[in-house]
Structure 1
Amino acid sequence: MFKYSNVCLDTFGYSLPPRVLSSADIESSLAPLYDRLHLPEGRLELMSGIRERRLWPKGMKPSEAAYLAGKKTLDDGGIAAAEVECLLFTSVCRDMMEPATSAFVHHKLGLPKSCLVFDISNACLGFLDGMVMLANMIELGQVKNGLVVSGETAEDLLESTIAALNADETFTRKTIKSSFASLTIGSGSVGCFMRRAEAGETKPRLVRGVWRTDTDHIHLCQGDAQGGETTLMQTDSEELLLRGVDTAAAAWDAFAAPGWRNEEVDAYCCHQVGVAHFRMLFDRLGLSEEKNFQTLPFLGNVGTVSAPITLAMAMEEGAFKPGERAVMLGIGSGINSIVLGIDW
């Protein structure tokens, strides 16, 4: 358990890619596979709960996507680039192995040379880990503020998966299951400017959190580049669902102290993977489904962007009033889970 007294979530900003790709569009692209295996149309949306997801223009780099969200965050908050003391880039996707993708974002945003920059990578939990890392530095007085950004680019993974499924005629209804999760991925970017809270603060504060890890299951979801620009991911979705919920339950048990039990929390903003995942998670943890703010149906699984963009959209719609509480909850392959508590 970790607690904070002085961490303000000043401004969130996000950028949505221009192209909308529906689950029906993906099934149309998979017509050779669907015809050969006699798969019913509508299967992808029915199983995932995802109607559509967003995609960037071809060739978009993670740093470019993160820059868009970072600039939106600074612009919306009226924050000068020269004021930013720390920049953390947190996506699964990155521009290249070296240098850190945060360096490219720093350059595009025109941040000062005194600004600390580095990447954090932890599957779909990178942004939440970035919030914790920056909160630690703010609480310790190492920096007064900082910007956490993420830019996920799902285009190559989707294209590579569709091509592989159509090209390999040995796939069966059973063996395609390991590729199913790749078809739920979407693109997007998000940023959050965090700073030391001031007296009489009216903006939300990050106040507490818990994490849990179970690396006995590192094999359940693995993705990597496979020659050239081809990226593929293999996921045991059913087992990952079960073990991920187990890990999240352990985190929630440690988090849900008096004042933070389900009946005392006003909204949940979660890393969203699929409808089956959401239902099993909330049932296991005893959480109220009606308190969950959902972006899954129209954004899909946006990796590290999912939980923070869900919170940003909820705030944009005026979902919170002074005195209310929100919880961010994420599960990432590895397996890791983190729960963060926010006060208004």
Structure 2
Amino acid sequence: MKYTKVAIHSFDYLEPDEFLTSDDIETKLAPVYKRLNLPAGRLELMTGIKSRGLWANGMRPSELSTRAAERVLEKSGINRNEIGLLIHASVCRDFLEPSTASVVHHNLELNEDAMIYDLSNACLGVVNAMAMASNMIELGQIKYALIVSGENGGPLLTQTIEHLNNDETLTRKSIKKYIANLTIGSAAVAYLLCDSSLAPDAPRILGGAVCTDSSANILCQGDGDTTSLMMETDSEELLKHGLELAKKNWTKTKQELSLENKDIDWVVGHQVGTAHETLTMKAMELQDHKTFTTYETLGNTGSSALPITLAKLSEKQKIKKGEKVALLGIGSGLTSIMLGVQW
């Protein structure tokens, strides 16, 4: 897929007020750590994650997405009636029906002509939504698209801690499938995409490629409860499949955009942890490229992870005009969408 007239007009994000360190979590897990004789400090050592944020368990994703969207709309200065598409793209949703996008649409008082829907694709949601919105902009069907994500990992984190402390059958081996739950954080983002003629100096989405390995759909699964989403993850196998998928899709992306590694100035990937970051960059031979990470302090914030990392990188004004940024999206399932953006 190639785009010639899609720009990232504006973006913003929200971070929680409350953060839990990896040490805090291990303190809460003292009973199971003692029973299984687990060494203190292993959670941060394995993941590289020092802390992760959380909102209260009752915080609705729609409220988080609405707050992030209001910040973007204020920053952009556009008339919200011109928004032709609203996508709510987070893992977390208010309920299964109706769409959480309908709640956000109502909260923002958007135009009745705006198309709305939820796009749920694990941690790939926002990048996936960027591709869908870009298609409509490229076809001239809309001028502006608003993409939002409100991820609250609080329920998953607290319920995982409770489950681990109460499950007397756990062993040092069986506890591994829950470790990924303890890396989950919280964040909200909002991105406004538009026809590039409306923002000629804004970053341009060049296009990208898609690659899916659905044989890996069993490696990370949640139970479908929108208020808890208890997950079990085979992290080792998921990483193995993810590396192969990332390598394959990066090759496809370069071919689609007629790029080589030397043409890329910045690389922004999904924020899982230190092992994923190091091995993925090496698999794509990008280990010597400039990158930026947020997992150390935010944890894995699901679909908000990559976009909040890009926003924070931009905030630091490190990306120079004309530089190319590779967005390396991936989500359990497994599926990958990688996009090229020129600043």
Partner in structure 2 of residue 215 of structure 1: 214
The Cα shift of 1:77 comes to 1.3
Q: For residues 9-39 of structure 1, what are the alpha-carbon distances to aligned partners after superposition, in whole Å with 9 as ceiling and x for unaligned? A: 0001101111111111111110001111111
Is the 1:92–1:303 Cα contact (8 Å) retained in structure 2? yes
Aligned counterpart, 1:250: 248
Map residues 1-80 of structure 1 onto 2, 5 A cutoff. 2-80=1-79
Structure 1 residue identity aligned to 2:279: M
Range 251-260 or range 141-150, more displaced: 251-260
Q: What is the aligned partner in structure 1 of residue 94 from structure 2?
A: 95
Shift of 1:84: 1.5
Determine the structure 1 residue equivalent to 2:286. Answer: 287
1:78-134, Cα deviation, whole Å (9 max, x unpaired): 223222221000011100011000000111111111111111111111111100000
1:254 partner letter: K
Secondary structure of the 1:176 match is helix
Q: Which runs of 5+ in 2 are unaligned?
A: none
Matched, 1:317 2:308: no
Does residue 150 (structure 1) correspond to residue 149 (structure 2)? The answer is yes
Is the 8 Å Cα contact of residues 248 and 338 (structure 1) preserved in structure 2? no
1:148-172, Cα deviation, whole Å (9 max, x unpaired)? 0001111111011101100011111
Aligned residues: 342
Amino acid at match of 1:216: S
Q: Distance in 1 between matches of 2:125 and 2:224?
A: 19
Contact 1:16/1:188, CA 8 A, preserved across alignment: yes
- Contact 1:262/1:288 (8 A) holds in 2: no
Whole-Å separation in 2 of the counterparts to 1:200 and 1:309: 21
Q: CA deviation at 1:229?
A: 4.9
Q: Establish whether residue 231 from structure 1 lines up as the match of residue 229 from structure 2.
A: yes
**1:327 maps to 2:326:** yes
Helix, strand or coil: the match of 2:157? Answer: helix
SS in 2 for 1:85: strand
Give the corresponding residue for 1:241: 239
Instruction: Mark the CA change 1:125 to 1:230 in structure 2 (over 3 Å): closer, same or farther.
Output: closer
> Which consecutive residues of structure 1, in runs of 5 or more, have no partner in the other structure?
none
Instruction: Spell out, residue by residue over 1:222-242, the C-alpha distance to the aligned partner (whole angstroms, 9 max, x if none).
Output: 01146x954310000000000
Contact 1:160 1:231 in 2 (8 A): no
For residue 89 of structure 2, what is the amino acid of its counterpart? T
CA distance in 2, matches of 1:230, 1:221: 15
TM-score by length of 1: 0.96
Partner secondary structure for residue 300 of structure 2: coil
Aligned counterpart, 1:201: 200
Spell out the pairing of 1:161-180 with structure 2 (5 A cutoff).
161-180=160-179
Distance in 2 (CA, whole Å) between partners of 1:142 and 1:7 is 12
1:119 paired residue number? 118
Cα distance in structure 2, aligned partners of 1:217 and 1:237: 11
Residues of 2 paired with 1:162 and 1:111: CA distance? 40
Give 1:256 shift. Answer: 2.0
* CA–CA separation in structure 1 for the residues paired with 2:166 and 2:245: 36
Contact residue 88 and residue 101 of structure 2 kept, 8 A: yes
Letter of the structure 2 residue corresponding to residue 190 of structure 1? V
Tell me, in whole angstroms, the C-alpha distance in 1 between the residues paired with 2:253 and 2:58.
41
Deviation at 1:304, TM superposition (A): 0.3
The AA in structure 2 aligned to 1:311 is L
Q: Return closer, same or farther for 1:310/1:230 CA change in 2, 3 Å cut-off.
A: closer
CA contact (8 A) 1:18 1:54 kept: yes
Q: For residue 136 of structure 1, what is the aligned residue in structure 2?
A: 135
Looking at structure 2, the residues matched to 18 and 100 of structure 1 have their Cα atoms a distance apart, in angstroms, of 27
Equivalent AA in structure 2 for residue 140 of structure 1: L
CA distance in 1, matches of 2:138, 2:289: 33
Partner in structure 1 of residue 296 of structure 2: 297
Matches within 5 A, 1:255-294: 255-257=253-255, 260-289=259-288, 291-294=290-293
CA distance in 2, matches of 1:15, 1:250: 33
**For residues 302 and 72 of structure 1, what CA distance do their matches in structure 2 show?**
19
Identical-pair percentage: 45
The Cα shift of 1:57 comes to 2.6
CA distance in 2, matches of 1:52, 1:76: 29
- C-alpha distance in structure 2 between counterparts of 1:263 and 1:43, whole Å: 37
Query: Which stretch of the first structure deviates more once superposed, 175-184 or 55-64?
Result: 55-64
